[in-house]
Amino acid sequence: MTTTPPSELALSCNFVKLAQECPDIQPLVRDLELRGRAATSKAWWEGAQTRDIPWPLLPTLPGNVPHPATRREPDAVEVLSWMRLTFSPVHGGVPPLLSLPNIHILRLSETTLSAESAAFFAEVFPGVHTLSINQCRVMSFAGLTALFQAFPRLRMLHLLAVEWLPRRPGGAVPDTACGSLANLTTLDLSRDICMEPLLDWLLKVSAHNTIRRLSCSIATRLNATAIRTFLKTSGSLLDHLSITLVESHDPTAILEATQLDLSACTGIQSLHIPCSRSRAEPSSRSLSWVLILLSKVPSPHLGEIRISIRPAELDRLNLEGLDVVLARNALSGLQSLTFDIDDTKAAPKFGVTRLEALLRQRVPTASAKGLVRLKSRY
């Protein structure tokens, strides 16, 4: 208990034992991760309908019955069965193995979900306001949206990687009741998310009326089109936008083909543009898409632009062109242009002094106005 705060403990063997021996700790847990393990690298709907799926991290069932290493039941049923055995009261008034009523942050990783498991999550974790989903599988898109709607206090939604089966004839249809996500203010979408159906559904439930912070990594034309529609519908409501096309094969072609721009973001106050790929690998691709995006930002409220980039990639960014774009009257309210320099994955080749001199030379107008900031992580 001295190295990990109770509010951040994962659902691990040591924690289960600790929680059983010291039940007073259970109401103190605020941040919980439920993690399963995928047993195959194939797409989850390929191959046999039933296969070996390891259990999540709890070691025993009530009565100290060991969890079997594998099961041969459908994934979603397996997860829900495990959840009920863990968090539901036992017959005869015996309390559940765990009771964590004050969970605020719920992280779901490498597991399979359904509409039924969503309802159970809502029952045992009623106070969740932040939901993170990573490498999860959902039996249907309706089951995924039901998971979002299961938490009425949901404010932040982080989708890192999730996949679902196509809807079958007669299958469940997502609930599109307006206001079902009335408290959602932050949406984070990675490149591994199929954004088109998700953003279309969010618009139908009017979530764009409350979302103030949007982060998205665009890798395909379909995702770019979906983001364009969402931005145009949100209009002046967005305060913060983080957008990147660095993971796409041809960012400029995507922008041209989809006509994605930031012209509708008239209320934006801060803009973040990551320019470094998630994998530390050399790239010769131009970063001209950064200037294309910035050239059509009309917001007089935009006070901060932050560009995350590695030193070796600065040569691929047209800094002189950036200086010209920033001098436009439409960005007269700009207070800072921050270069967030990350060289932690390679030996430093550029000292801070050299970088500052480079930026003064190549971004002279913004530098003269005192706008340029440099943050480095070595």
Residue 287 predicted with pLDDT over 80: yes
What average pLDDT does the chain have?
Answer: 81
pLDDT at 83: 78
pLDDT at 35: 81
Res. 279 pLDDT band, cuts 50 70 90: low
- For residue range 60-85, what is the model confidence (pLDDT) as tens digits? 333 333 333 333 334 555 677 777 87
Among residues of the chain, what percentage have pLDDT more than 70?
Answer: 79
Tell me which amino acid residue 102 is.
N
Helix H, strand E, coil C: the string for 333-349 is: CCCEEEEEEECCCCCCC
pLDDT at 14: 62
pLDDT at 96: 75
pLDDT at 168: 76
Structure pTM?
0.82
Q: How many residues does the chain have?
A: 378
The helix (H) or strand (E) run that includes residue 224 is helix 221-234
pLDDT at 281: 57
Res. 7 pLDDT band, cuts 50 70 90: very low
**Buried b vs exposed e over 70-103: b needs ≥16 C-beta within 10 Å?**
ebeebbbbbbbebbebbbeeeeeeeeebbbbeeb
Q: What average pLDDT does this structure show over 318-333? A: 87
pLDDT at 282: 54
Query: What tokens appear for 252 in the block?
Result: 């400029």
Residue 58 predicted with pLDDT over 60: no
Res. 91 pLDDT band, cuts 50 70 90: low
pLDDT at 342: 76
Q: What average pLDDT does this structure show over 298-325? A: 91
pLDDT at 55: 31
CA distance 265 to 239: 9
pLDDT at 308: 94
Nearby residues of 146 by Cβ (< 8 Å), 6 or more positions away:
115, 118, 119, 174, 175
Res. 115 pLDDT band, cuts 50 70 90: confident
- For residue range 27-49, what is the model confidence (pLDDT) as tens digits? 888 998 888 764 443 433 333 33
Q: What average pLDDT does this structure show over 139-147? A: 92
- Which range of 16-25, 56-65, 309-318, 349-358 scores highest in mean pLDDT? It is 309-318
CA distance 377 to 216: 23
- Closest to 298 measured CA to CA, from 322, 337, 267: 267
